[in-house]
């Protein structure tokens, strides 16, 4: 029987549940804090965002982004976003994200 948290009681997680957002020189970094999240899933999310296949970020916030890349440094996955956006812009976008990780 399914419950409100999904099959077997495991709640579906999105990027906001498994990441920390912080401002860095020239942009924002989203650091994935859950080591069970696969880089391929993060890359798919970034690709969807880059190609306009998601609606998480407002048009105003999208216009501020000049580059977005997935990084894997010693197993620590992060998303580097360059441009004039703030951590708050990114947190608001992550709050709207529906893609499970």
Q: Give domain status of residue 101, yes or no.
A: no
pLDDT bin (cut points 50, 70, 90) of residue 6 is: very low
Q: Domain of 46: which CATH number?
A: 3.30.1360
Domain that holds residue 71: 7-96
- Name every residue whose Cβ is closer than 8 Å to that of residue 80 and which is 6 or more positions away in sequence: 24, 27, 29, 67, 68, 69, 70, 71
Is the predicted pLDDT of residue 50 greater than 60, yes or no?
yes
Degrees to nearest 5, angle at CA 48 with 78 and 83: 55
Q: Give domain status of residue 2, yes or no.
A: no
Strands 27-32 and 76-83: antiparallel
CA nearest 27: which of 95, 92, 90, 75? 90
Mean pLDDT of 22-48: 95
Residue % of the chain over a pLDDT of 70: 89
Q: Give domain status of residue 53, yes or no.
A: yes
Q: Give domain status of residue 90, yes or no.
A: yes
Mean pLDDT of 37-58: 90
Tell me the per-residue pLDDT of 51-100, one tens digit each, with 9 for 90 and over: 888 888 888 888 999 999 999 999 999 999 999 999 999 999 999 988 88
Task: Indicate the number of domains in the chain.
Answer: 1
- The better pLDDT of the pair 44, 54 is held by 44
Is the predicted pLDDT of residue 5 greater than 60, yes or no?
no
Q: Give domain status of residue 1, yes or no.
A: no
């Amino acid at each position: 029987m399914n419950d409100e948290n999904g099959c077997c009681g495991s709640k579906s997680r999105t990027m906001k549940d498994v990441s920390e957002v912080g401002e860095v020189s020239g942009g924002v970094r989203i650091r994935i804090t859950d080591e069970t999240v696969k880089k391929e899933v993060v890359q798919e999310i970034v690709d969807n965002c880059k190609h306009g296949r998601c609606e998480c970020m407002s048009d105003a916030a999208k216009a501020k982004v000049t580059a977005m890349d997935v990084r894997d440094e010693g197993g620590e996955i992060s998303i580097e976003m360059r441009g004039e956006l703030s951590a708050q812009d990114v947190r608001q976008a992550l709050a709207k994200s529906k893609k499970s990780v």
